Structure 1
Amino acid sequence: MAETQDWVPLGIDTNVPSMARVYDYILGGAHNFAADRQVGSQIEKLVPGLPSVARLNRRFLGRAVNFLMDQGVRQFLDIGSGIPTVANVHEVAQERDPAARIVYVDKDPVAVAHSQLMLSDNENAAVVQADMRDPEAVLSSPEVGRLLRFDEPVGLLMLLMLHWVPDEDSPEKLVAHYRDALPAGSFIVMTHVAKDQIDESVDQAAAVVNRSKSADQMHMRTHAQVSALFDGFELVEPGLVGCGEWRPDGPGDFADEASMNMFLYAGVGRKG
């Protein structure tokens, strides 16, 4: 039976898991359903350190946004933003400059509904419901047209997103489509599951996801394959590294278990 909380958008089949809501569950959020929790608990049993990976990803997001702010970037396009949690892009950026402009993009209706609620009184931030694999729909949306100016640098964020794009959908061409819309001086920020840094338990966890009813299917990639996604961008120091190794500010940027710091590759690239 479908769940009927008053925050559930109409038309949602709560029996079908969504990776945005599974991620919310792993982060300890409350906007997920039994189907999401079932998948999340199965993969947590296989990879007990997964919550720390999710936290490292959020910490990297904050460091990357601050780095882009230091470079003069004042507008952001966050692809696959997910269900709002702590230290969202607009909170990090607008704390430093209230005029910073942010457009979030997600295909999950729950993520979009909660983002709309959170941003209802924020005229410099908006959310678009769209699939990242339809860049024309994203880039031509009214929200992007209102908030982003493509004659000045944009921070393009793709965290934990491209491993949901299969090779047959050409993730390199997808990134290139967004890259070509960006002016010189723009940046891309990316995290991606590291195929060559994980063990058998992660393969088993990916299999759990791929056997579920979810339309999201995981496609892990090697360091060389993820590096190729930065084509047309110049990686800034320290390059493409483990998520915990990208310009850490303190102990909270590392997981206690060393392997979790390398679970995700993280990098920031600049368009010349």
Structure 2
Amino acid sequence: MFEAQQPEGTGPGRSSSAGFYDSLLGGSHHTAADRQLVEIALRGTPHLREWARQNRAFALRAAQYCWAQGIRQFLDLGAGAPAPEPGALHEVLPSARVVYVDSDPHVVSALRETYAGQESLACVEADVLDPASVLTDPDTRRLIDASEPVAVLMIAVLHFVERDEDASRCVAGFREWMAPGSYLALSHGTIDPDTVVPPDRQFMARYAATATSLTPRSRETIVEFFAGLELVAPGVVYPPDWHPGSDDSPNARARRGSLAGVGRKRAATT
């Protein structure tokens, strides 16, 4: 487990978003504090594990869709801990060039240790809220050709950004950098009233005490993140409803916890 590598500023009674998510997915890169928070959260929100699996499954389906459209380079923002089965992005798309980005130095250290020796991928320590720090990193520049289409993944990232304007500015920075023909895949925790199942209040209160707060947003706000992009059908939907696969589940409570979509950057018009 990740016992000796707790993020700076955390302690035995605190958790991190990466460790919490990894524990939900059944990974091995989390602390006792992360596991404890998961146990507490599951008491009031028993579908959280399934929500995490659905979110992860969307990420892989979105990446495979982009690959089918000819994309061969991927920028995974807020990558989190090394992925358990069914595998990391570069394992699902073994010929792809992949840059994993995270702001937690311990997470990046684990990524580098796990994925060492693979020339077609890199693990970059940078804050996604500062797109320039990501895009000017030597490893990003080595693997990502900015003149060619790229897939940018922001999977369960923006709901850790408290202010709407900061989240929008972050997305705009990457959107403006992307070459025409690029794709943005995004998932986000939601408070959309149509979901019927609101975030569990007890869990939200407990999570607020962790190293990273959680800010779910409405469908309208999440759709706005795709401004200037052409949404791929079926648009912004619950993750299992985006190009459904065999990994889907009928659990309504889990499926309604977040929204997801993929947008394509059109060619510039004169």
2:5 alignment counterpart: 8
* 8 A Cα contact 1:56 1:243, kept in partner: yes
Q: Does the alignment pair 1:228 with 2:224? A: yes
Q: 1:186-201 alignment to 2 at 5 Å?
A: 186-196=182-192, 197=195, 199-200=197-198
Provide the aligned C-alpha RMSD in A.
2.0
Question: Deviation at 1:206?
Answer: 1.7
Sequence identity percentage: 35
CA distance in 1: counterparts of 2:215 and 2:7, whole angstroms = 30
Question: Deviation at 1:41?
Answer: 1.6
Question: Deviation at 1:257?
Answer: 1.6
For 1:108-160, what per-residue CA distance to the aligned partner results, in whole angstroms no more than 9, with x for missing partners? 23321221022212100010111211211111111101100011101000000
* 8 A Cα contact 1:79 1:132, kept in partner: yes
* 8 A Cα contact 2:182 2:265, kept in partner: yes
Q: Does the alignment pair 1:161 with 2:157? A: yes
Question: Deviation at 1:59?
Answer: 1.0
CA distance in 2: counterparts of 1:102 and 1:192, whole angstroms = 22
1:253 alignment counterpart: 248
2:181 alignment counterpart: 185
The amino acid across from 2:52 in the alignment is: A
2:168 alignment counterpart: 172
Q: Does the alignment pair 1:202 with 2:197? A: no
* TM-score, structure 2 normalization: 0.90
CA distance in 2: counterparts of 1:253 and 1:14, whole angstroms = 36
* TM-score, structure 1 normalization: 0.90
The amino acid across from 2:201 in the alignment is: D
Q: 1:53-64 alignment to 2 at 5 Å?
A: 53-64=51-62
* 8 A Cα contact 2:197 2:253, kept in partner: no
Q: CA 1:53–1:10 in 2, change beyond 3 Å: closer, same or farther?
A: closer
CA distance in 2: counterparts of 1:67 and 1:31, whole angstroms = 28
The amino acid across from 2:187 in the alignment is: T
Question: Deviation at 1:249?
Answer: 1.9
2:109 alignment counterpart: 113
Structure that is richer in helix per residue: 1
5+ unaligned residues in a row in structure 1: which ranges? none
CA distance in 2: counterparts of 1:74 and 1:227, whole angstroms = 26
* 8 A Cα contact 1:194 1:263, kept in partner: yes
2:257 alignment counterpart: 263
* 8 A Cα contact 1:104 1:128, kept in partner: yes
